[in-house]
Amino acid sequence: MRLIGTREARRGSSARVRATRSTYAVRVYEGAVQDLIDELGRLPGVGPKSAQRIAFHVLAADPADVRRLADALIEVKARVKFCETCGNVSQEDECRICRDPRRSPNVLCVVEEAKDVVAIERTREFRGRYQVLGGAINPIAGVGPDDLRIAQLLKRLADGTVTEVILATDPNVEGEATATYLARLLLPMGLTVSRLASGLPVGGDLEYADEVTLGRAFEGRRLLSA
């Protein structure tokens, strides 16, 4: 019993030391510097060391540059909103793509985020319009169909103008679940529903492709003509 008590005491002491070290590691600086590091560390993809580097870059930067950055952050929150039609980011009630009369109203590309619109636009291959869902179905994270802009999508399809819907959600578990859910909703409406092909990247080596990617490449193979 005495040995067990000693071990428990040692474990408790070690835990207190680790907690003290952790607290010291987190709160290295005081005041505004630490507050800045903490806020930067909350950004996606920014770890503690990156947050610290950015904070000290800001401290060393010219005050005018820092002021421009602060003004840009405030302005983007004040002026930028989501397009009432498609959910893309815009400074107007409708984004420039929805306002463009040259875009085909018959083809709709469904994406997860506004950044996906930019990626597709860079290809210069798509001349239709978009619907931004605002995410993907993810039960583990508590994101269901009602949390996405699926109701707005169905409302846009109700008048019969759109004849084809391209599902361009990400090729991961959440994206596939979202695409499958949408396909079940849209196919009974008589629409042509397609999914972006996925397969081998240009310039890649066959031996390094995983089984899923290679399998989809076989499924999406196309005929060659002379």
Per-residue pLDDT reduced to its tens digit, 29-44? 778 999 999 999 999 9
Q: For the chain, what is the mean pLDDT?
A: 86
Structure tokens, 83: 């397009």
Per-residue pLDDT tens digits for 110-142: 999 999 999 999 989 999 999 999 999 999 999
Angle at 110 between CA 134 and CA 176, to 5 degrees: 80
Residue 226, pLDDT score = 61
3-state secondary structure of 191: coil
Would you say 128 and 108 are in contact if contact means Cβ atoms under 8 Å apart?
A: yes
- How many residues belong to the chain? 226
Angle at 124 between CA 120 and CA 129, to 5 degrees: 60
Interatomic CA distance for residues 86 and 59, integer angstroms: 40
Q: Which CATH number fits domain 104-195: 3.40.640.10, 3.30.390.50, 3.40.50.300, 3.40.1360.10?
A: 3.40.1360.10
pTM of the model: 0.74
Structure tokens, 66: 């820092």
DSSP secondary structure, 13-28, as one string: HHHHHHHHHHHHHH--
pLDDT at position 19 over 70:
no
Instruction: Name the pairing type of β-strands 81-82 and 89-90.
Output: antiparallel
Higher pLDDT, 213 or 127: 127
% of the chain with per-residue pLDDT over 70: 87
